[in-house]
Amino acid sequence: MKFKHIAPLMVLVLAACEKQLDLSPVTNLTNVTYYKTADDAKAALGACYSQIGGTDPFLDLATSDDGVPFLTGSADRPLLWRYNITPSNTFISNYAGAYSGINRSNIVLGRLPGISMDESLKKRYIAEAKFLRALHYFNLVRLYGDVPIVTTETTSLDGLAVSRDPAEKVYDLIEADLKEAESVLPKTYPASESGRATQGAAKGILARVYLTRAGTTVGSPYWAQAAAKAKEVMELGVYELYTNFGDAFAISARGGKENIFEIQNLTDVKGHTLGRGYGVRSAPIYPGTGSGIARPSPSLFNLYSDKDTRKAVTFLTSYIYNGVTTTLSSTDPDFTKAIAFQKLWDKPAKTLEGTSNPILRYSDVLLMFAEATNEASNGPTTDAYAALNKVRTRAGLTALSGLTYPQFKEAVWLERRLELTFENSRRFDLIRTGRLLDAVKAENSFARNATIQPFHVLMPIPQTDMDANPNLKQNPGY
């Protein structure tokens, strides 16, 4: 009975205080109070960018022939490396994070059209969200094959029970998103907005999509499409190689002329420890000492000639501490003596690293153009040689000439491995060219004895995601 009298009184009190109080919750924004202004739109898009920060090269290294995980610590690491892979392995759990990113993009795509703001900026934000959605789907389809296509915001648990769609349909969506993005996105941004998706990023990833769809099919129309799209990036007049290979990975090179799209982390604020995490185990040269997640495989390290300037940039082969030099090895089983990856090490960092994680560099585009042109023309052209040799001569190697169609193809494949080591490209390159099983079996150092099978070209859907969605069916073999 007391509430009958209190309720009218509260209405009067709240009305009297309306001018002094902001009754909207400031720490618990909802869909009703949000997505109203240009600032809301910008923040929503920022949430999309933050979701791509989880990429890590470990899966690529451990399931290809480029890396050897340290055999102590997490048991899932050597199991992955030896291809004793189960859906419960913690290092194949990219699925949920990708769909979280996709949902963030879908929120932007669904909510921004209703916001009153500058129309050109709105179109650009939508194009950026489509680019990021395409990037997530591209990673998903290459890792898992058929995956659910979700293009609208998931607002309830009912929206989680989705079935897998054919990979070809996923690729069609990726292509459509990237084509729309490239038609809207600018060539460049002011320095204050460095790191956003550009027209060149959309075109470059689309070239990679076409290269992937071409696969091992001789005469596929995707070869010509990949070459044409890579050529468009080359003709933008925005990108070029740094004179020195190592300059592409310097902190000062963020958003630089070679780095088309990258994840940029702030030094000593947020980092992904690609230096310390992959550094020499227990070495005191890193903040908190090196963790030693994985070392380069001997077959990878031995591919580099001493003339190749990328070798010293990519690998740490010795270090000096307190005047004492420690020489490192590619074969010594003592992991405190193992050669380490140092390509993405933010050396000035004192606590947390801020290294940029490259997703697409200009050298990758040049090599995609060279490979696709060789395939589309049934042999290397002058332009294909020029693109390949730009990458080689920058590395201090001699220019190539006089190669047959298969010789040129092999030369590009080798150059991609040397140039793009530690950049999440090796496994996907091996799969699209049909070489994964042979490459893994051939790299048998440290008693790997990988039990790889044809079905391993796809990862299993993580068990946690299978449990959460009864409509999912597991990939064959798992």
pLDDT in tens, 122-181: 999 999 999 999 999 999 999 999 999 999 999 877 777 899 999 999 999 999 999 999
What integer pLDDT is reported at residue 10 of this predicted model?
33
What integer pLDDT is reported at residue 31 of this predicted model?
63
Given a contact cutoff of 8 angstroms between Cβ atoms, the answer to whether 350 and 362 are in contact is no
* 87 assigned to some structural domain: no
* 300 assigned to some structural domain: yes
Cα 188–Cα 190–Cα 193 angle in degrees, nearest 5? 95
Q: State the CB neighbour count (10 A cutoff) for residue 92.
A: 22
Angle between helices 119-144 and 38-50 (to 10 degrees): 20
Element containing residue 366 per DSSP (H, E): helix 362-376
Following CA atoms 397, 401, 404, 409 in sequence, which dihedral angle do they give, to the nearest 10 degrees?
30
Residue type for 57, please?
P
What integer pLDDT is reported at residue 350 of this predicted model?
78
| Greatest extent of the chain over all pairs of C-alpha atoms, in Å | 96
* 281 assigned to some structural domain: yes
Q: How many whole angstroms separate alpha carbon 337 and alpha carbon 329? A: 6
* 155 assigned to some structural domain: no
* 304 assigned to some structural domain: yes
pLDDT in tens, 320-334: 999 999 999 999 999
Angle between helices 221-234 and 199-214 (to 10 degrees): 160
How many structural domains comprise the chain? 1
Domain that holds residue 315: 265-355
Given a contact cutoff of 8 angstroms between Cβ atoms, the answer to whether 378 and 406 are in contact is no
Provide the token pair at 48.
């999309």
- On the CB side of 87, CA atoms within 13 Å amount to 17
The number of angstroms, rounded, from the C-alpha of 203 to the middle of its chain's C-alpha atoms is 16
Phi/psi of residue 338, each to 5°? -85, 135
Following CA atoms 308, 274, 101, 260 in sequence, which dihedral angle do they give, to the nearest 10 degrees?
-30
What are the helix (H) ranges across 395-451?
A: 405-419, 426-432, 436-442
* 443 assigned to some structural domain: no
pLDDT along the chain (478 residues), means of 10: 34 35 43 83 95 83 96 87 97 94 97 96 98 98 98 83 96 98 97 95 98 98 98 98 95 90 78 81 90 95 98 98 97 95 87 80 98 98 98 98 98 98 97 98 96 98 96 97
Average confidence score pLDDT of the chain: 91
DSSP letters of 95-132? HHHHHHHHHHHHHHHHHGGGS-S-HHHHHHHHHHHHHH
pLDDT in tens, 66-86: 999 987 778 999 999 999 999
* 280 assigned to some structural domain: yes
pLDDT in tens, 286-306: 988 888 899 999 999 999 999
Given a contact cutoff of 8 angstroms between Cβ atoms, the answer to whether 83 and 440 are in contact is yes
Element containing residue 348 per DSSP (H, E): none
* 47 assigned to some structural domain: no
Q: How many whole angstroms separate alpha carbon 183 and alpha carbon 189? A: 16
Provide the token pair at 476.
């064959």
C-alpha distances out from residue 282 to 107, 260, 328, 340, Å: 44, 34, 13, 12
The number of residues in the chain equals 478
Share of the chain above pLDDT 70, in %: 92
